[in-house]
């Protein structure tokens, strides 16, 4: 059975990125996957201090917060679904803090052949579909540097229509859920 980690960084309960993540989670067949969801706001995760202690400790961060445990769970997962809202043209600050802290995860990952597969879900308030294309592409490259295999990066507008009434988004999420059965 494969393990999926869902990590949501929106501070809002009813956020569009969180709703898309929940839709995707429901599309996975429970007999083939186990899933665990983390919400940034429910955890203590401080920003990276750039002390580089993780280099001498095998990827264990010097900060005594929830991130070391989350990294350990990520290492044991097969698929990582990372959902975040876009504010001011880029991922929200919570997503950036989380991503910066994945540096220690990358050190733990070094030398291991298995790559966690990553799906990014990014909501934004614009009706222009291609507005964030370059930013998302660069974010995907950063995740690849951290040791993830980026399967897909989906951006969608949450302001145009409610997430659960966007058939093109649902179709894309369904396609993703079906392609992971290998």
Quick: pLDDT tens for 115-174.
Answer: 789 999 999 988 777 889 999 999 999 999 999 999 999 998 876 667 777 888 889 999
Q: Give the closest residue to 9 by CA, choosing from 34, 56, 31, 42.
A: 42
Buried b or exposed e, range 95-121, using 16+ CB within 10 angstroms: bbbbbebbbbbbbbbeeeeeebbbbbb
Share of the chain above pLDDT 70, in %: 96
Residue 69 has pLDDT above 90, yes or no: yes
- pLDDT of 181 reads 62
Q: State the chain's mean pLDDT as an integer.
A: 89
Q: Could you tell me which of 151, 139, 7, 137 has the C-alpha nearest to residue 71?
A: 7
Give the pLDDT of residue 159: 66
Dihedral, 8, 120, 94, 21 alpha carbons, nearest 10: -20
pTM (two decimals): 0.92
Q: What is the pLDDT of residues 170-181, one digit of tens each?
A: 899 999 888 876
Domains of the chain: 2-45+54-179 (3.40.50.360)
């Amino acid at each position: 059975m494969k393990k999926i980690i869902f990590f949501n960084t929106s501070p809002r309960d009813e956020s569009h990125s969180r709703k898309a993540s929940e839709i995707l989670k429901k599309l996975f067949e429970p007999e083939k996957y186990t899933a665990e969801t983390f919400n940034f706001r429910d955890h203590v995760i401080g920003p990276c201090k750039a002390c580089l202690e993780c280099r001498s400790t095998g990827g264990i961060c010097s900060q005594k917060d929830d991130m070391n445990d989350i990294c350990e769970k990520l290492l044991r997962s097969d698929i990582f679904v990372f959902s975040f809202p876009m504010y001011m043209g880029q991922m929200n600050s919570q997503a950036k803090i989380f991503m910066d802290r994945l540096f220690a995860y990358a050190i733990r990952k070094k030398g291991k052949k298995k790559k966690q597969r990553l799906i990014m879900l990014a909501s934004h308030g614009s009706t222009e579909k291609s507005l964030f294309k370059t930013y998302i592409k660069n974010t995907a490259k950063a995740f690849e540097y951290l040791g993830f295999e980026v399967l897909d990066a989906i951006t969608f507008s949450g302001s145009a229509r409610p997430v659960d009434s966007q058939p093109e988004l649902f179709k894309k999420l369904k396609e993703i859920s079906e392609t992971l059965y290998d």
